[in-house]
Amino acid sequence: MAISKEVKQKIMSEFAQNERDTGSTELQIALLTEDIRSLTEHLKINKKDFSSKRNLLIKVARRKRFLEYLAKNELAKYQDIIARLGLKR
């Protein structure tokens, strides 16, 4: 359940540090969050889609590692991204 190009561009314009930014930690967390929300909605309908469930768990773990890195190295950016994305922490 990949996110659409338009949604990805919107997220990139909101979270990117500059117009050429494609890999900053904040941007990756935002994109993973959108993927996670999309997969969660998909799995509410398709409960037996185990490959999507596995991909969801992989994305959650990856986002967790990015968040831990950001919390350890740049606490202000961590708190900002948590607030902007509405994550529980």
CATH of the domain at 81: 1.10.287.10
Q: By three-state DSSP, how is residue 13 classified?
A: helix
Question: Per the domain annotation, does 6 fall within a domain?
Answer: no
72: Cβ–Cβ under 8 A, 6 or more apart, which residues? none
- List per-residue pLDDT tens for the chain, 89 residues long: 678 999 999 999 999 888 888 899 999 999 999 999 999 999 999 999 999 999 999 999 999 999 999 999 999 999 999 999 999 87
Rounded Cα–Cα distance for residues 53 and 42 (Å): 9
Residue range of the domain that includes 71: 27-89
Return the structure tokens found at 53: 């469930």
pTM, to two decimals: 0.92
Does 59 map to a domain?
yes
Q: Is residue 18 part of a domain?
A: no
Residue 2 lies in a domain: no
Task: Report how many domains make up the chain.
Answer: 1
Q: What gap in Å lies between CA 48 and CA 80, rounded to an integer?
A: 36
Q: What 8-state DSSP symbol labels residue 23?
A: -
